[in-house]
Structures are given as C-alpha cells and as structure tokens.
C-alpha cells in the first residue's frame, strides 16, 4: 500500500521489482568483474584466486536456495527479499572493510548467498504471490526491465572506479541496497500480507491453472527433467560466458572478440521484447525448446566457422537469444507445468542444481581446454547443451501424453509435496 492508502497495482509491482533487480544484480554480481583487479592488487592476490572465491560464492548461493524457497512460500517473497536487502548491504559493507583477502572472500561468499534472497527466483515468486493469473506476463515484463542491469552497471561501476577506490564503491552499493531496495521490498511485503489475508476470507481456495493432469510419478519425473535440463543449460552458459572474450580470441578473432561479445546483451533484450509481443498467449514449452535448442547450435556454428567473424557474430546473437529466453522460461515453465503451490520451494531446488553446475563450469571448461584443446572442449560443452535440450524434448512428450483432449484443466490449489 502506498502512502496515500492505495494498493499497489501489478504494473507498479513489476516496476518496483525491476528497479530492485537492476540494483541487486548490478551491486552484487556485475560490479565484481570491474573491481576484481583493483581488489586483487590491494591484497596481493592473483585475480584468478578472487574469481575462484566468486565461484565458491555462486555455489553457496545455490546451496541456500532451497531453504530460501521454502521461506518464501511460508513467509512471502517480499519479506524474504527485505531481509535479503539488509544482508546484502551488510555483506557489501563487510567486503569494503575487509583487512585481508580471506575476510573479503568470506564476505563475497555471504554476498552471493544473500543474492538468493533478492534476485530473480525470489522476484518471480513475489509476482506469483501478488499478481496471480497474470504472473506469466509480469515475469516477462520483469526480465525485460532487469535485462538492462549489465548495460547500466558495467559502465557505471567503471566510471565510479575512475573517481573512487573499490572500498568506497562497495560502501555506496551497500547504501543503495538499504536506501532503495529495502523500502521497495518492505512495500511489497505489506502488499502480500494484505493479499494473503484477503484470500483467507474466501470460501474456497483459489484456482490454479494447470495445462496437464499427470500422475504423481510422471509429475516427479517431469520435475527432475526440467531441473536437469535447466541445470545443464546453465552449465553451458556459465562455461561460455565466463570466458567468452578470451575464448573468441583463442579461436582466431583477435581484437574483434570484444566487439563481437557485446552483441550478446542486446540480443537478450531483443528476444525478451519479441517474446512479450508474440509469446505471452502461448504455453512456455515451445519457447523453452527454442531457448535450449539454439544453445548447442550457436556453439556448433562457432566451431565450424572460426575464425570467421561472421560466424562469431551469429554465435553471439543466438547465444543471447538463448540466454534471454531461458531467463523467462525458468520462471514461467514450472508455473505452467506444476501450478503456484510451493512455487518458491520448487524454484529453490532448481536454483540449487543450476548454480552448483554453473559454479563448476568455468573450471571444467578451463581444465578441458588445457587437457584436450579448446575445440574439443567446446565440442563437449555442445554435447552437454544438447543433453539439456533432449531433457525438454522428453518433457514436451510427457506433457502432450498427459494433456487430456488438448484442453487446459483447472484444479483446486493444494500444497505440493513434490521436490527433487
């Protein structure tokens, strides 16, 4: 509820979350690569060691994600995100005051754990809890807004770094989480409390739209397939994106590698806009197959055309399309397949599997490259992406098999006990 007593509308919630996602991803994630070299110089550590601690931090975020998801279902996403804003500010402040690299690394690990409380999965759960049947549309809108986080924070952090040292920047980022993100999340938490109180006065539980009626064993199998498919796709993206510029340079693109890599971000935003315009009335299953299917195709094109710049351009654009769509369907496909019951817990388990593999991916690609060469290493990564696609092909088959008459089925909401 706003100060003048009016309820927050769905559009207002999306824009408020969009601001908090831009600030959250910008301060907790995208700024790290800009500041890492200066931090490493301060402590006399190799930059690679700092990135190693960052990978451990991403792993920590995955480990706490299932617990966070259950808390979101129990207490509401807004309340959890508000607590996450306080934790994010505290960890940023601790990192800024770190006397040695060990304390800094511990703060970074705690920082990424706090990210599980405030970033996409938590925001998606908030939209499901506060906007109901319109959640799919709102998730798409949110990803479109939040897609500008890197576009804003990479140059902003670089500019700040020209006038301030990394410690002052992190103190400023801590203040941003307290002064802007915390009030936003508290406002949304109040909205959810009122929505839940209103729901308790209803004579019957709200309806949840499911597109299929699957037996429990089949539903569990689908959940495992969806979790594994997104985890394998996340592994592929993490491996490639963390080393995109040096990888393209090693394949013979030289100085063009940086220019080509900049096409990735705009491609993400473009495909989200297209999906918002033409994909919202369709089930997210086709979009998922497209998102995951073009990922191995993009890498294969790069392998077959290197060192031609044209092939690398197609690779960067297709990978951007894949990543942009994937960020949407990670929230909308589980909602469409399983409904809103225990949505937060389900996303938490998926985030756990996804982030564990994503944390290991850069090291795996580096090890494979050093052992068998970059070309063969990327061929293996392509195979991993293809396995993720095949998982979703099987999901699509099972969905079609258990979709009676091709009609949407409306069922009463009940607490789901399914978890991976």
Cα 184 from Cα 16, distance rounded (Å): 6
Task: Supply the pLDDT for residue 8.
Answer: 74
pLDDT tens-place values along the chain, 420 residues long: 555 445 778 888 999 999 999 999 999 988 887 888 899 899 998 877 887 888 888 888 888 888 888 888 888 888 999 999 999 999 999 999 999 999 999 999 999 899 989 988 888 888 888 877 678 778 888 888 887 887 788 788 889 989 999 999 999 999 999 999 999 999 998 875 655 554 444 443 443 445 556 677 888 898 899 999 999 999 999 888 877 778 888 888 887 887 887 788 788 888 888 877 776 667 889 889 999 999 999 999 999 998 899 999 999 999 999 998 998 888 888 888 887 777 888 888 888 888 889 888 888 888 888 889 999 999 999 999 999 999 999 999 988 887 655 444 433 333 333 434
Cα 95 from Cα 99, distance rounded (Å): 9
Cα 244 from Cα 8, distance rounded (Å): 41
pTM beyond 0.85: no
- 365 by Cβ neighbours in 10 Å (0-12 / 13-18 / 19+) ranks as buried
Mention every residue, 6+ apart, whose C-beta is less than 8 A from residue 238: 357, 358, 359, 361, 362
Give strand pairing partners of 210. 409
| Contact (Cβ atoms closer than 8 angstroms) between residue 139 and residue 329 | no
Of 337, 335, 340, 345, nearest to 205 (Cα)?
A: 340
Cα 332 from Cα 36, distance rounded (Å): 34
Phi, psi of 410 (to 5 degrees): -105, 125
The architecture of the domain spanning 10-203 is Up-down Bundle (1.20)
Cα 238 from Cα 236, distance rounded (Å): 6
3-state secondary structure of 238: helix
Cα 80 from Cα 116, distance rounded (Å): 10
Give strand pairing partners of 410. 209
Helix, strand, coil percentages in the chain from 3-state DSSP, rounded to 5: 85, 0, 15
Cα 346 from Cα 335, distance rounded (Å): 10
Task: Supply the pLDDT for residue 337.
Answer: 84
Angle at 17 between CA 15 and CA 19, to 5 degrees: 70
Task: Supply the pLDDT for residue 327.
Answer: 86
Residue ranges matching CATH 1.20.1250.20 in the chain: 10-203, 208-412
Cα 160 from Cα 166, distance rounded (Å): 9
3-state secondary structure of 120: helix
State the first-to-last Cα distance of the chain, in angstroms, to the nearest integer.
Answer: 36
3-state secondary structure of 263: coil
Tell me the fold of 208-412. Answer: Growth Hormone; Chain: A; (1.20.1250)
Task: Supply the pLDDT for residue 193.
Answer: 62
- The encoded tokens of residue 376 equal 């063969």
């Amino acid at each position: 509820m706003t100060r003048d007593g009016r309820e927050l509308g769905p559009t207002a919630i999306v824009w408020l979350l969009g601001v908090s996602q831009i600030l959250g991803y910008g301060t907790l994630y995208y700024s790290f690569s800009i500041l890492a070299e200066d931090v490493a110089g301060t402590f006399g550590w190799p930059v690679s060691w700092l990135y190693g601690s960052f990978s451990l931090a991403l792993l920590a975020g995955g480990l706490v994600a299932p617990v966070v998801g259950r808390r979101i279902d129990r207490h509401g996403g807004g309340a959890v995100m508000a607590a996450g804003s306080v934790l994010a500010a505290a960890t940023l402040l601790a990192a800024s005051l770190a006397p040695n690299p060990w304390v800094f690394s511990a703060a970074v690990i705690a920082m990424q754990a706090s990210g599980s409380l405030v970033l996409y999965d938590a925001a998606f759960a908030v939209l499901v809890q506060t906007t109901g049947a319109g959640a799919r549309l709102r998730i798409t809108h949110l990803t479109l807004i939040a897609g500008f986080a890197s576009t804003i924070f990479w140059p902003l952090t670089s500019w700040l770094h020209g006038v301030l040292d990394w410690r002052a920047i992190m103190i400023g980022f801590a203040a941003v989480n307290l002064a802007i993100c915390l009030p936003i999340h508290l406002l949304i938490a109040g909205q959810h409390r009122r929505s839940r109180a209103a729901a308790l006065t209803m004579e019957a539980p709200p309806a949840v739209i499911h597109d299929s009626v699957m037996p429990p064993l089949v539903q569990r199998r689908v959940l495992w397939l969806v979790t594994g498919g997104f985890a394998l796709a996340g592994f592929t993206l993490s491996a490639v994106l963390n080393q995109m510029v040096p990888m393209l340079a090693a394949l013979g693109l030289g100085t063009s590698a940086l220019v080509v890599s900049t096409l990735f971000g705009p491609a993400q935003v473009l495909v989200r806009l297209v999906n918002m315009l033409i994909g919202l009335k369709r089930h997210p299953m086709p979009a998922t197959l497209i998102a995951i299917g073009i990922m191995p195709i993009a890498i294969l094109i790069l392998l077959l055309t290197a060192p031609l710049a044209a092939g690398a351009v197609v690779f960067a654009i297709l990978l951007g399309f894949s990543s942009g769509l994937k960020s949407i369907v990670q929230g909308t496909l589980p909602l469409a397949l399983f409904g809103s019951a225990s949505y937060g817990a389900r996303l938490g388990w998926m985030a756990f599997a996804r982030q564990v593999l994503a944390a290991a991916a850069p090291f795996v690609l580096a090890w494979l490259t050093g052992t068998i060469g970059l070309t063969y290493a990327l061929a293996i990564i392509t195979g991993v992406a293809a396995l993720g696609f095949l998982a979703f092909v099987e999901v699509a088959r099972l969905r079609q098999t258990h979709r009676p008459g091709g009609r949407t089925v409306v069922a009463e909401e009940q607490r789901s006990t399914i978890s991976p």
